Chain A
Amino acid sequence: VSQDALTAMQHGLQSCETCGLLSRPARGDEDGRCPRCDKAVAFRKHQSIQHTWAYLIAAAICYIPANVLPVLTTTTATGTETDTILQGVVLLWSPKGWPLSLIVLVASIIIPSAKILALAYLLITAQRGAVENNEQRVRLYRMIEFIGRWSMVDVFVDTFTAALIQLQPLMSVEPGPGLLFFAAVVVLTMLAVESFDPRLLWDFAGGEQKASSIEVTHA
């Protein structure tokens, strides 16, 4: 085994995604199952780049109607009003209510768009075999993995606003068609993050290992 061989794959070993057991394929290159947890193991997630692109493109397409179509329809005695996500943010903006407005702005507009752009960046650099900024890129991946779920906030806000404000004929709120597309964006980007394999970011990295020992933090 050469000096450059740092990864399990270079040693012909596969690590199980779920239980972490390191094992060697019994039939040469053919993928087998993890003997400990029975999960199919592979060197890298199968078709990771293609699957992630598919989810991401679908999310990007849904992102447009999610922002253009209304997410809430308010009916009062005087008439009907519809709000898109952005109109909702603007409506909430007031000297007292701006923190709320900011929460919705970050969770519903900034996080989904940043997530789509960041994943596209990771996919393109992984496909090109980029060897720079690996640490930053894997950190970016962890950030979008951690933060993505918070986009669901707006779905819950609209759900419970609509469930509660049912005071016909005084005032009633119903979810609009944009909510479906927005929920789809959240789900599709979460699936995209799940199908991306961060190990692909390192496959061209070569032997520029920084430290030789594992860092241990004591309690």
Chain B
Amino acid sequence: MPAESLKLANGLAMDEIAVYNEPVSDPKLIACIHCDLLQRLPELAPGASARCPRCNKELWRHREDSLNRTLALTFGAALLYVIANSVPMLGLTIVGRGASTTVFGGAQHLWEDGQYFVAALVFFTAIVAPALQIGMMLAIVLAARRERPPRWVGTLMRHHPTTRIWSMIEVMMLGVLVALIKIADYATVIPGVALFVLGALIFVLAGMQASFDPREVWERIEWAEVPPSSDAEHGMIEEHGTIEDAP
């Protein structure tokens, strides 16, 4: 795509074409995402981490054996997720009558009650986002094991943090426990298999995220073809050579 769009760039639609920035030549040179302090990452032993000297944000934690461990935990999470969503989570009996619900059943009931927005939110945060979080991670880790990870891995990596923010299994678990104890006042509550599976899933998901080292994948990913730079831009690259020594 870049080769074609460059031809166009001489023509009319200048603004619609992706213009790529020029990377700095030292990949260890970074800016803190919370305070923009320019600094160079030190070499880190596996398991070590580096923090920003100005705002204390963790810049990088070098995970040990990241890809293998993440892959194992992602497989585990996928399995638990499937079980958790196919068996009942909560049941109750009261004077001979019984009822039970799955995770999906909760969202479905809200929808039938006309609470469309809340139903969609519960469906998204408890079912869709965790599925995306696990599924995308699986694709990322499997593809990242190749010699040169393809570009679509970058697209998945870009959207993965969003699925992580909106995936709320642990929050749902707390909500279910509160509901369970609340209901226990009126009826006999039967915790379903899914409840225990979800409890395990929370820890496996946390482990999956904790063992993943995005930096390791980003460093090996295939880049966009950066358009050949003009003379003026070469001047800029020279100039930043002096900047690199500043921090």
Chain A interface (Cβ < 8 Å from any Cβ of B): 1, 5-11, 13-15, 17-27, 30, 32-39, 41, 92, 97, 100, 103-104, 107, 134-135, 138-139, 141-142, 149-150, 152-167, 170-171, 174-175, 179-180, 183-184, 187, 190, 194, 198-199, 201-203, 205, 209-219
Q: Is B35 among interface residues, defined by CB-CB distance under 8 A?
A: yes
Q: Is the CB of A165 within 8 A of B59?
A: no
Residues of A within 8 A of B106 (CB): 156, 159-160, 163
If the complex has contacts A7-B37, A212-B53, are A14 and B215 also in contact, measured as CB distance less than 8 A?
A: no
Q: Is the CB of A15 within 8 A of B94?
A: no
Q: Is the CB of B246 within 8 A of A1?
A: yes
Q: Is the CB of B99 within 8 A of A219?
A: no
A164 touches which one: B24, B41, B90, B165 (CB < 8 A)? B90
Q: Is the CB of A164 within 8 A of B183?
A: yes
Q: Is the CB of A24 within 8 A of B240?
A: yes
Alpha-carbon distance between A199 and B52 when the two chains are bound, in angstroms:
13
B118 touches which one: A5, A26, A180, A203 (CB < 8 A)? A180
Q: Identify the 8 closest CB pairs spanning chains A and B, nearest first.
A: A156-B175, A219-B47, A23-B21, A8-B31, A15-B31, A211-B53, A7-B36, A163-B109
Determine, out of B66-74, B78-86, B132-140, B151-159, the stretch whose residues face the partner at the interface. B151-159
Q: Is the CB of A138 within 8 A of B34?
A: yes
Residues of B within 8 A of A218 (CB): 45, 47-48
If the complex has contacts A7-B31, A162-B110, A164-B90, are A152 and B171 also in contact, measured as CB distance less than 8 A?
A: yes
A-B contact pairs, 5 of them (CB 8 A): A37-B154, A163-B106, A174-B113, A190-B165, A214-B42
Residues of A within 8 A of B22 (CB): 23-24, 26, 35
Chain B interface (Cβ < 8 Å from any Cβ of A): 18-24, 27, 29-31, 33-42, 44-57, 59, 64, 89-92, 94-95, 97, 99-101, 105-110, 113, 115, 117-118, 121-122, 125-126, 151, 154-155, 157-158, 161, 165, 168, 171-172, 174-176, 178-179, 181-183, 186-187, 214-215, 218, 221, 223-224, 226-227, 229, 233, 236-237, 240, 242-243, 246-247
If the complex has contacts A32-B19, A214-B50, are A157 and B182 also in contact, measured as CB distance less than 8 A?
A: yes
Alpha-carbon distance between A149 and B165 when the two chains are bound, in angstroms:
8
Seed contacts A160-B101, A175-B115; 6 additional CB < 8 Å A-B pairs: A7-B31, A15-B31, A21-B27, A32-B19, A150-B174, A152-B171
Residues of A within 8 A of B33 (CB): 15, 17, 20, 198-199
B242 touches which one: A1, A35, A190 (CB < 8 A)? A1
Chain A interface, DSSP helix/strand/loop, else mixed? mixed
Alpha-carbon distance between A92 and B151 when the two chains are bound, in angstroms:
52
Q: Is the CB of A155 within 8 A of B121?
A: yes
Chain B interface, DSSP helix/strand/loop, else mixed? mixed
Residues of A within 8 A of B52 (CB): 214
Q: Is the CB of A13 within 8 A of B31?
A: yes
Q: Is the CB of A18 within 8 A of B183?
A: no
Interface hub of A41, A142, A167 (most chain B Cβ within 10 A): A167
Residues of A within 8 A of B237 (CB): 24
B128 to chain A, nearest CB (A): 14
Alpha-carbon distance between A180 and B174 when the two chains are bound, in angstroms:
20
Alpha-carbon distance between A199 and B40 when the two chains are bound, in angstroms:
18
